[in-house]
Structure 1
Amino acid sequence: METKLHKHSLFEDIQAIVTGTLAVAMGVLFLKEAGLLTGGTTGLAILIHYSTGLNFGLTLFCVNLPFYILAIKRMGWRFTFKTVLAVALVSTLTEFIPYWVDIRSVEPWFAALGGGLMVGIGLLIVFRHKASLGGFNVLALYLQEKYKIPVGKSQMALDVSIVVAGLWIVPPMLLAVSILGAVVLNFVLAVNHKPGRYTGF
């Protein structure tokens, strides 16, 4: 029996992007409060934030700019527009959530597990509505579309590379916990986001 593809409505796309980016922003807040790293351009932005004190949200938006070119060429304007919107929302939410939620203390291991799960779930929601959070997400989705390499596997390799790059700024113990968070995040994607498993577009 032929499977009929379901096209997401504008409302469905908007609620998914808002829900997914809120989950990602909460996960990033956990990681930042515990002094941990994560992968992708989010991890790169955290590294820059830790080492220079630059505004995290603005840094996150800027480091994603070069990847929009790949998104336009390989994934189309619709995907790119939704991705820019998602990145802008995460950048904004990560700046405002600390004014609304006061987390005074969080154990690093719990921040890695909880933060990794929240970021992974948020990314999964965004991915399933043909968008991403820019950067390595775009590259990982492209590799899956072009070469059938599962998002979770390519994303994990890229993420762990970024986390390990933080060795010079994060204590070894926190770095090890950060790697745990990256593995948890990508485990969510590897298990739940596979080619052909989800047919919405």
Structure 2
Amino acid sequence: MTTLDPYRPEDLAAAEALYWSAVRFTVGQVFGADPAVADEYRRDLSDAPPFERALALHDHPLDVAAALTGKSVTSERMKTYDHAFPAYRVGELLPVDDRSAHVERTSEILSSARRDDRAPMVTVATLNRFMGELGYQRLAVFAGVASYVLERKAWKRPLPRRLDMETLPGLTADREEVYGLDRALNVLNGLQEYARRRKPSSSIVFRIEKMKARLQRQS
């Protein structure tokens, strides 16, 4: 789910510089603790493989600081953090420009229609394949929210860079993650309408139409 290649040292170094400055600030200024604990944690990870270090950057600085200090994340601490780092987004390792991020609220993309409890199930693995065709990384769950994040190479497409799902996936008796077909189609419908509004002639609009038909045939 990373937005950078962990084996490109310059990219990883830039992401880490941003991330650890956020963690250090959060420990010291938000939680009122000694920032040295953040430095110690960073040193512990310094010898880890690049991929493991990149994965560590997905832990939100607030959660990391809470774990390091033993203090809880309160609404006041969240406000202090958000004021200091308004452009640092969960699930993205590099800073983004709010004017061009295209991170949409779920309510602005997905329909709020009542769920169809009789709809067949679609595995998250299947949905990941369809979303991957559009340029999205696999579904990732962070802080209780399931999201799809658009790969950097696909940012020019008329699609939101991140889409938060309405709910977490369900689990079958075999512990397989699933969504109802109605919810999966809701995602594709929302993305199709989003693309249509931004660029009506985009091939993405027609591609999603075909994807919806394929998904229904497979379910």
Q: What TM-score does the superposition give when structure 2 sets the normalisation length?
A: 0.29
**Pair member with larger Rg:** 2
Q: Which has the higher contact order (CA 8 A, sep 6+)?
A: 1
Higher fraction of strand:
2
Q: What TM-score does the superposition give when structure 1 sets the normalisation length?
A: 0.31
